[in-house]
């Protein structure tokens, strides 16, 4: 009778161990699937963030280029507004000034 009881206990322990191993395997499988889904989600989020930052960088670059272009256009327009006669007069005055300074003792 003692041997039968020992064998029965051993069978129950084997069943419990098998059940625990199956549960552990299921937990590992479930955790692995969850980790894979989370990695996919993070990859999508990272990709979206990269696209957002690239778009923001492009927008900032375009804004700066537009500002430089406007500034250059304003400067060209300002110099284009100066008449040829005014440029000649300024050049003649500068030459006269330089010649006058060169003649001084």
Query: Could you read off the pLDDT of 41-70 as tens digits, one per residue?
Result: 999 999 999 999 999 999 999 999 999 999
Q: What is the pLDDT of residues 78-87, one digit of tens each?
A: 888 888 898 8
Q: Output the DSSP codes for 50-104.
A: HHHHHHHHHHHHHHHHHHHHHHHHHHHHHHHTS-HHHHHHHHHHHHHHHHHHHH-
Its pTM stands at 0.52
């Amino acid at each position: 009778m003692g041997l039968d009881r020992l064998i029965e206990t051993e069978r129950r322990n084997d069943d419990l161990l098998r059940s625990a191993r199956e549960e552990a395997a299921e937990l590992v499988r479930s955790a692995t699937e969850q980790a894979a889904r989370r990695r996919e989600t993070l990859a999508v989020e990272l990709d979206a963030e990269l696209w957002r930052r690239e778009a923001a960088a492009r927008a900032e670059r375009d804004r700066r280029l537009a500002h430089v272009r406007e500034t250059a256009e304003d400067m060209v327009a300002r110099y284009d507004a100066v008449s040829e006669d005014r440029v000649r007069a300024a050049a003649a005055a500068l030459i006269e000034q330089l010649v006058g300074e060169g003649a001084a003792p």
